[in-house]
């Protein structure tokens, strides 16, 4: 793959725009051809998105302005659903929970993935490296719902394997799923366990692309170990970090299966996430208008966080 690597492609510089006019012998015809091709190539994706995402979203936004219980016909509610949502402590708590979840889950996921990727990248037999890589990626191929059922048993306070293991080294049993303080931590743990493999693979890939010479030069300058990673590897890896954190955050803000199966949002509201609230108010309480309003707010939140990330990334992300 060595010949396919271009170090300085940046998002803000549409490459074709710069190169096409320079070399094109018959610009207008070629442009028409390009535009036609672009239309054809984009059609399946854009049509699909419009029909199966944009139209339903517009539907949800409209629905958020109505009271609708599915059974009777909707009645116009104006901003009532939004007022209701902002006055509902469960909804507010769920937003807080989701943000807390996002911060810790993404940070932990990136940290574990990064450390393991650096460690796997060190000197070791090729087969061993391959074993480790497979192991760390493996949880990603499992279904979140069924693995959560397994985890629920493993984390049981009284009979679970986790507390038994802790008991072996002298720890008292931890109420992993049944105390307000521990439950969120457990949900985060289970989520990170399943998800870190993805960031891990991204980092392994990113590290492979850092030119060997840079490290050698650094070593000659006397940089070693942690310092070398902090001052050299990390900045070079920052574009990968950005991708991993953007995808990680988008996914974390939509977490549903793990808390739904492990704790069902409890104890109290301590692990209730925004998507759980959406699901509950729509399908359990028949408040589709309010559920849509919460959905719209979540959508706005995710957009805002992602936009913020890209803004910050201009300062912290270095391209080779």
Partner 1 sequence: MNLSRARHSLAPWARIATLAVCALLTLGPVIWTVSTSLRVPAESFDLPPKIIPTDPTVESYRGVFDQIDVWLLALNSTLVTALIAVGQMITAGLAGYAFARLEFRFKKPLFGLVLATMMVPLQVTIVPVFLVLKSMGLTDTLLGLIIPAFPTAFGTFLMRQYFLGMPKDLGEAAMLDGCGPWRIFRSVYAPLAAPGLAIVGVLAFNYHWNEFFRPLILETSGQNYTLPLGLVSLQGNLGTGSISVVLAGVVLSMIPAVVVFVVGQRPLREGITSAGVNR
Partner 2 sequence: MTDSHLTRRTLLRYGAYGAGAAALAGTAASWDRLTGADIPGRDDGSLVVATLGPAYGPEAIRTLTEGFKRVHPDIKLRINAVQAVDWSDFFAKILTQIAAGTAPDLVYVATEGVQLFAQRLGVPLDRWVKRDAEELREYFADVHPSLVESMMYEGSLYQLPVEFNAADIYLNNQVLKRAGADFPAADWTRDDFTALLRDMKRASGSQFTPYFWTNRLWGGVVPWLFANDTNLLTESKAPGGAWLWDSFYPAAERAGRGGGFRWTTPQADHARVEEAYDYLASLIEEDLCNRPEGGNGQNLIGVFSTGRVGVTPAGGFWAGGLHLAGMKAGGFDTQYFPRWRTQRMQFGAAGYALLRTSKRQEEAWEFIKYAARRDTLMRLFNTNQTTPARRSMLTADRYRETGPDRWQVFYDTLDKFPDTGPIPAPPQVAEVEQVLLKHTGTALASRRAVAPALRRMQSDLEKAMERDV
Partner that binds at residue 52, options partner 1, partner 2, none, CB closer than 5 to 8 Å by kind: partner 1
Where helices occur in the chain by DSSP H, the ranges are 15-23, 27-49, 55-63, 80-86, 89-121, 126-137, 144-154, 161-168, 180-208, 212-220, 225-228, 234-252, 257-262, 274-279, 288-316
Using CB under 8 A, which of 41, 52, 138, 159 touches partner 2? 159
Q: Which residue, 11 or 87, is less far from partner 1 as judged by CB?
A: 11
User: Which lies closer to partner 1 via its Cβ, residue 152 or residue 182?
Assistant: 152
The vertex-300 CA angle with 44 and 189, nearest 5°, equals: 95
DSSP string, 36-104: HHHHHHHHHHHHHHIIIIIHHHHHHHHHTTEE--SSSPPEE-TTHHHHHHHT-HHHHHHHHHHHHHHHH
CA distance 252 to 110: 12
Decide if residue 194 touches partner 2 (CB under 8 A).
no
Out of partner 2, partner 1, none, what residue 258 binds, judged by CB under 5 to 8 A for its kind, is none
Residue 232 beta carbon to partner 1: minimum distance, rounded to whole angstroms: 10
Site for partner 1 contains 285 (CB under 8 A)? no
Q: Does residue 134 touch partner 1 according to CB under 8 A?
A: yes
Q: In the complex with partner 2, which residue's Cβ is closer, 86 or 164?
A: 164
- Stretch of residues binding partner 1 (CB under 8 A), selected from 99-107, 174-182, 219-227, 263-271: 219-227
Q: Smallest gap, in angstroms, from Cβ of residue 318 to partner 1? A: 10
**Phi-psi sector, 287: left (phi>0), alpha (psi -120 to 50), beta:** beta
Smallest distance from the beta carbon of 144 to partner 2, in angstroms?
13
Distance of alpha carbon 227 from alpha carbon 101, whole angstroms? 30
Residue 212 contact among partner 2, partner 1, none, beta carbon within 5 to 8 Å by kind: partner 1
CB-based contact 235:318 (threshold 8 Å): yes
Q: Is 149 in the site for partner 2 (CB under 8 A)?
A: yes
Distance CA 255, CA 114 (A): 22
Torsion angles phi and psi, residue 44, rounded to 5? -60, -45
Assess 52 for contact with partner 2 (CB under 8 A).
no
Nearer to partner 1, 81 or 180 (CB): 81
Separation between Cα atoms, residue 243 and residue 258, nearest integer Å: 23
Among 93, 107, 132, 266, binds partner 1 (CB under 8 A): 132
- For partner 2, the closer of residues 138 and 164 by Cβ is 164
Asked if 121 is part of the footprint of partner 1 (rule: CB under 8 A), the reply reads yes
Q: Do the Cβ atoms of 214 and 236 come closer than 8 Å?
A: yes
- Apex 16 CA angle, 15 and 17, nearest 5: 90
Binding mask 62-81 for partner 1 (x = CB under 8 A): -x------x-----------
Binding interface with partner 2 (CB under 8 A): 3, 69-71, 145, 149, 152-153, 156-159, 164, 167, 175, 177-180, 261, 263-270, 279-280, 282-286
């Amino acid at each position: 793959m060595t010949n396919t690597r271009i170090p300085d492609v940046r998002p803000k510089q549409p490459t074709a725009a710069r190169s096409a006019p320079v070399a094109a012998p018959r610009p207008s015809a070629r442009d028409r051809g390009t535009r036609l091709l672009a239309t054809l190539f984009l059609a399946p994706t854009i049509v699909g998105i419009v029909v199966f995402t944009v139209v339903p979203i517009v539907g949800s936004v409209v629905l958020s302005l109505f009271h609708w219980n599915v059974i009777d016909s909707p009645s116009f509610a104006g901003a009532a659903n939004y007022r209701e949502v902002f006055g509902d402590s469960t909804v507010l708590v769920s937003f807080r929970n989701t943000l807390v979840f996002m911060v810790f889950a993404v940070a932990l996921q990136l940290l574990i993935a990064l450390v393991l990727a650096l460690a796997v990248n060190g000197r070791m037999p090729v087969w061993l490296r391959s074993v480790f890589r497979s192991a760390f990626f493996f949880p990603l191929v499992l279904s979140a719902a069924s693995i959560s059922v397994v985890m629920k048993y493993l984390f049981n306070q009284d009979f679970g394997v986790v507390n038994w293991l802790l008991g072996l080294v002298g720890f008292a049993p931890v109420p992993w799923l049944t105390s307000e303080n521990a439950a969120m931590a457990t949900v985060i743990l289970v989520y990170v366990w399943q998800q870190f493999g993805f960031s891990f693979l991204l980092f392994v890939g990113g590290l492979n692309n850092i030119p060997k010479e840079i490290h050698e030069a650094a070593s000659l300058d006397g940089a070693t170990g942690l310092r070398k990673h902090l001052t050299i590897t990390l900045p070079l890896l920052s574009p990968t970090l950005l991708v991993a954190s953007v995808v990680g955050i988008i996914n974390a803000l939509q977490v549903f299966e793990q808390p739904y199966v492990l704790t069902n949002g409890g104890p109290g509201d301590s692990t209730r996430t925004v998507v759980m609230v959406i699901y509950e108010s729509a399908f359990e309480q028949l408040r589709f208008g309010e559920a849509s309003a919460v959905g719209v707010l979540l959508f706005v939140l995710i957009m805002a966080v992602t936009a913020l990330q890209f803004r910050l990334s201009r300062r912290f992300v270095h391209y080779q």
